[in-house]
Structure 1
């Protein structure tokens, strides 16, 4: 049976990598805390196993053959993957999830989450975080259907067995319109009758199976329905309608004059929001975010 096709051992790839990095067999031996003869034997055995020359020894100094160079480059990918696999297994053994999935309610501007994410990535660079934006009931529906591990900014969460909650933040609202919209010229607080004749821009509930909900819409008011908070604010800025917007989303546009704020006779009160997670979930990445984001901890 030919020796060709035998699997390459990680020890041989580590030896080849060390020779290339440190420039000689002797230097590689020192870096690996081995004697030079052991390095030579490992390379010789590698060449025997593969049935090819890894080094060209015809000159004053051994240099990699084209096959040896290919083996080195591909071998480094294998070494990296091997180290990452070992580290991932250790993290999992320490109860650190390989990935944390988050549903962010549309009431919360993503920028409000960036500082926490930056700190988490600095402390745990190998753990992936996946964020999806959801609206109204779609946020906690994603949690109960196991599409995410943590729901952030949920308003009016249902009472459901097996779901834990912690206070997140109160969401402040601004009733917005375009600077040239007819409502922008009013100097007195606006009553519902004055608002009802103007089209409202609303964001559709992203729930897939639950009954769709709406918020901030008056009876009989015409509407423009969009799919995200970002689209809602853009539509209001373009004069396509009016509506309540979370202050975290619109502060810059109000400051720059791209949006106008209307005073209402009955202002919308700040609305509490929550973090939600399943009682059975206990990973340390999830706990990190709960501890960081919950105002009660």
Structure 2
């Protein structure tokens, strides 16, 4: 093969600086070495790469085509070299963070901004999970860190956890729903007669969870809290919502809140990660997410944008 990364780097330097001599200085070579390398490449390729226009070296049409197609390869090679150097220093090339639906992902943006501002080159990949999804993402190798993993840790080990806090829930229904006229507290048997709106668990390998669904109750399964709120407001079903979210919708007149005979207890959320993961990026996020002020910011008025 007559085209190499070294040749592409040479063409790029000459094109950017306008002459063989300036390119040689930028690449820390002697001008004769640059002239020889270009001449040898033209001989092997069978066509000229540059032409003289005054004092400038200008790419021929063929040379321009070669460089334009090769620049993405140069960028990719530079990225690979930088990433390998970064990994060798203990910083991961990528950190995958699974965020439970109870915590808006944008609550992490100030932390990510601080991470970038500190000059860390690790790429951050966020994913949204529901119910057992965060736990499954960790155990299945789809995530390195989980923020807001709800409920109890599944059996099997290999994970380390730290508490983030709790989210309170309240029973919410449309003002036109039949249960809106029922006296409080509404018994479970009465609620069971009506369809529940529940979130779809994103787990792939663990047993799916169905929070808030009574035994024998029909269900409308939706993908996220926006869809769940809309289904409640449309009168398509009933169920519990995070208190802050439900109170916002109630204040707007779209939902009404009702006491039930069997209130749903608050759910504990956790920070969790694979115990064997030793990367510097994971350590950076763990340390900051465990700070009381960060935990408070993540859970403040949960699910209220």
Normalising by structure 1, report the TM-score: 0.81
Unaligned runs of 5+ in 1: none
Provide closer, same or farther for how the CA distance between residues 202 and 64 of structure 1 changes in structure 2, counting only shifts above 3 A. same
* Paired residues of 1:200 and 1:217 also in contact (CA < 8 A): yes
Provide closer, same or farther for how the CA distance between residues 165 and 43 of structure 1 changes in structure 2, counting only shifts above 3 A. same
Given the alignment, which residue of 28, 37, 42 partners 1:42? 37
1:67 aligns with 2:62: yes
1:237 aligns with 2:249: no
1:81 aligns with 2:76: yes
Report the count of equivalent residues: 292
* Paired residues of 1:108 and 1:248 also in contact (CA < 8 A): no
Q: Secondary structure at the match of 1:57?
A: strand
Mapping 1:274-285, distance limit 5 Å: 274-285=270-281
Provide closer, same or farther for how the CA distance between residues 76 and 223 of structure 1 changes in structure 2, counting only shifts above 3 A. closer
* Paired residues of 2:172 and 2:240 also in contact (CA < 8 A): yes
Q: Secondary structure at the match of 1:168?
A: strand
Q: Secondary structure at the match of 1:113?
A: helix
Q: Secondary structure at the match of 1:108?
A: coil
Structure 1 counterpart of 2:137:
142
* Paired residues of 2:99 and 2:147 also in contact (CA < 8 A): yes
Structure 2 counterpart of 1:56:
51
Given the alignment, which residue of 161, 170, 174 partners 1:174? 170
CA drift at 1:82: 1.7
Mapping 1:1-297, distance limit 5 Å: 5-10=1-6, 12-57=7-52, 61-123=56-118, 126-154=121-149, 155-184=151-180, 190-192=186-188, 195-247=191-243, 253-264=249-260, 267-295=263-291
Q: CA RMSD in A?
A: 3.1
Provide closer, same or farther for how the CA distance between residues 111 and 193 of structure 1 changes in structure 2, counting only shifts above 3 A. farther
Q: Secondary structure at the match of 2:271?
A: strand
Unaligned runs of 5+ in 2: 295-305
Provide closer, same or farther for how the CA distance between residues 237 and 111 of structure 1 changes in structure 2, counting only shifts above 3 A. farther
Provide closer, same or farther for how the CA distance between residues 84 and 252 of structure 1 changes in structure 2, counting only shifts above 3 A. farther
Q: Secondary structure at the match of 2:44?
A: helix
CA drift at 1:264: 4.4
Provide closer, same or farther for how the CA distance between residues 85 and 204 of structure 1 changes in structure 2, counting only shifts above 3 A. closer
Provide closer, same or farther for how the CA distance between residues 116 and 14 of structure 1 changes in structure 2, counting only shifts above 3 A. same
Name whichever of 80-89 and 266-275 sits farther off.
266-275
Provide closer, same or farther for how the CA distance between residues 69 and 212 of structure 1 changes in structure 2, counting only shifts above 3 A. closer
CA distance in 2, matches of 1:182, 1:122: 53
Q: Secondary structure at the match of 2:99?
A: strand
- CA deviations on 1:233-252 (whole Å, 9 max, x unpaired) are 22112211121112465565
CA drift at 1:75: 3.0
Normalising by structure 2, report the TM-score: 0.80
CA distance in 1, matches of 2:247, 2:64: 56
CA drift at 1:53: 0.7
